[in-house]
């Protein structure tokens, strides 16, 4: 027994030293998290972790412990990532939430008066008076970055044709947050100048989504040339400005009224339950008690089972995943970014835990925000 007690005493001394070293290591992990945060770096650095493991395995004298030491360091570095994630995610604590006042706001949208984006903007900001429109989505995001506007609103997904790829890409590029969502029913109409008939029309202008949403109906007009344009409402304005019976646009009834055009063929969108989701984008993180939806972006290692491993956290924490959209990673050929929507708010503990795990194990991660889901 004396020998056993000696062994145990020696282990106790080693454990004490390891505990002090562990504490020092975690303190350094916090400092590293500050550095990564200030330099916009990702928590998970797979190449660095593999290097650390290989280096420490090389110090082993008894190689039969190699697999155990690998497991030990993998767990240790996972704990380090959790510490770093907690430090970085402290920005999302409720007491640190920044909220814009809703008065005297300036809100921007892409397109012109009469666009669906403008309609969604007025639905979300019911009394908004100070608005500004931009020709492209890129210009809209730049305006928000330069503080020309307080919020931007942009379409992100159509129920018939899917995601708006350019908006997804810009959400990755710019350090903004989604702070709200609105759903707008989309009824597309073929519209032209006063007195024009379907037999007069030779060219039709619209956003590519307008053509996609009306593809079957447009097959009836075999001799009409379809010309993609920036926006459905801008197309309506162009037809009004040209005042040419041979030109028409696919746009909303509201756009037809604003630009004094006739509806030549109504409700030509193929899906009569056609909706578009719009996101309200802000420079600062905001979350309220009514928020019930969240969005993230992440990428994985290009290995079998990696996507499943990360998505499994939603099931583990009983979180309802509502959408996943993949986009090419433009910096790495044949690798992808995943845009994920799910039910719940960052204020919920289970959401925080799931996000921390996904962030820790992602190659790239960005939290886009928690917000109130738009109603149909």
DSSP letters along 328-366, please? E-TTSTT-EEEEEEEES-TTSHHHHHHHHHHHHH-SEEE
The span from the CA of 141 to the CA of 345, in Å, is 25
Q: Is the Cα dihedral 242, 246, 247, 250 positive or negative?
A: positive
Rounded to whole angstroms, the Cα distance separating 342 from 338 reads: 13
Do the beta carbons of residue 232 and residue 249 sit within 8 Å? yes
Q: Please state, in angstroms and as integers, the Cα–Cα distance from residue 132 to each residue in 145, 150, 233, 243, following that order.
A: 14, 11, 15, 26
From its phi and psi, is residue 332 left (phi > 0), alpha (psi between -120 and 50) or beta? beta
Residues 6 or more apart whose CB falls under 8 angstroms from that of 211 comprise: 218, 226, 228, 250
Helix residue spans in the chain (DSSP H): 2-38, 46-58, 66-88, 116-124, 137-145, 165-173, 208-213, 215-218, 232-242, 253-258, 306-316, 349-361
Q: Is 276 a catalytic residue?
A: yes
Question: Please, are residues 57 and 67 in contact by the beta-carbon 8 Å criterion?
Answer: no
CB burial string 269-294: b at 16+ within 10 A, e below: bbeeebebbbbbbbbebbbeeebebb
- Using DSSP's 3-state secondary structure scheme, residue 93 falls into coil
The answer to whether 248 and 226 are in contact (CB under 8 A) is: no
Q: Which of 278, 298, 365, 367 is catalytic?
A: 278
Q: Which of 161, 232, 276, 300 is catalytic?
A: 276
Q: Which residues are catalytic?
A: 276, 278
């Amino acid at each position: 027994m004396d020998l056993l007690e000696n062994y145990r005493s020696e282990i106790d001394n080693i454990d004490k030293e390891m505990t002090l070293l562990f504490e020092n290591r975690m303190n350094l992990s916090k400092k590293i998290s500050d550095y990564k945060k200030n330099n916009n770096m990702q928590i998970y650095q797979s190449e660095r972790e593999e290097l650390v493991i290989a280096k420490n395995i090389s110090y082993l004298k008894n190689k039969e412990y190699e697999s155990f030491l690998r497991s030990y360091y993998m767990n240790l570095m996972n704990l380090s990532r959790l510490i770093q994630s907690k430090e970085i995610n402290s920005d999302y604590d409720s007491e640190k939430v920044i909220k814009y006042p809703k008065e005297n706001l300036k809100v921007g949208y892409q397109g012109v008066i009469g666009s669906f984006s403008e309609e969604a903007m007025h639905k979300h900001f019911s009394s908004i008076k100070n608005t500004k429109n931009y020709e492209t989505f890129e210009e809209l995001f730049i305006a928000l970055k330069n503080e020309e506007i307080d919020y931007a609103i942009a379409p992100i997904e159509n129920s018939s044709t899917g995601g708006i790829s350019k908006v997804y890409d810009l959400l990755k590029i710019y350090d903004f947050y989604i702070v709200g969502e609105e759903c707008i029913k989309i009824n597309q109409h073929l519209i032209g100048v006063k007195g024009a008939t379907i037999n007069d029309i030779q060219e039709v202008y619209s956003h590519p989504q307008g053509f996609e949403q009306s593809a079957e109906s447009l097959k009836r007009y075999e001799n009409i040339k379809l010309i993609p344009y920036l926006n459905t409402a801008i197309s309506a304005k162009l037809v009004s400005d040209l005042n040419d019976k041979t030109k028409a646009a696919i746009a909303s009834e509201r756009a037809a009224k604003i630009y004094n055009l006739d509806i030549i063929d109504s409700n030509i969108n193929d899906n009569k339950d056609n909706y578009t989701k719009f996101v309200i984008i802000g420079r600062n993180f905001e979350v309220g008690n009514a928020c019930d939806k969240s969005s993230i972006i992440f990428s994985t290692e290009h290995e079998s089972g990696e996507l499943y491993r990360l998505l499994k956290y939603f099931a583990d924490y009983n979180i309802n995943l509502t959408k996943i959209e993949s986009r090419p990673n433009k910096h790495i050929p044949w690798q992808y970014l995943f845009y994920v929507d799910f039910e719940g708010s960052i204020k919920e503990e289970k959401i925080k835990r799931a996000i921390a795990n996904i962030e820790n194990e992602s190659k790239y991660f960005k939290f886009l925000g928690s917000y109130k889901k738009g109603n149909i």
